[in-house]
Homo-oligomer: A and B are copies of this chain.
């Protein structure tokens, strides 16, 4: 069958999450540069169609813990270091999504669909 509008809204939400993660994973990041990266990630993804709001939290305490005892004072951005919330509005359907760690895996979830 052809997709429904809420299904298309969920597809659009997924695109934004894959974009956010794989565009920015690998970026050199430190506690000092975390805030500017959050802001840029939010603004970049909000450019995409149907993306109403993006909130990125680069987890600075987790970064600091990772760097403690390491030879470098920065690391590469990966899922362990970020929490994300996003809202997609697509032709009248609203989708709320999030990403956070579930054990050792950065889980992306659809929290709510409002048709």
Query: Given the complex, which residues of B lie within 8 Å of A71, measured CB to CB?
Result: 103-105
Q: Which 5 A-B pairs have the closest CB atoms?
A: A14-B14, A18-B18, A40-B40, A25-B26, A47-B74
Given A10-B11, A15-B18, A48-B74, 4 further pairs, Cβ under 8 A: A8-B110, A16-B18, A18-B22, A30-B47
Interface centre among A13, A14, A114 (most CB of B within 10 A): A14
* Copies of this chain: 4
- The reply to whether A33 and B26 contact each other, CB–CB distance below 8 Å, is no
- One of B18, B40, B70, B95 near A36 (C-beta < 8 A): B40
17 contacts between A and B (CB under 8 A): A1-B113, A1-B114, A2-B112, A3-B113, A7-B10, A8-B10, A11-B13, A11-B108, A21-B26, A22-B26, A23-B26, A28-B47, A28-B48, A36-B36, A47-B73, A71-B105, A76-B78
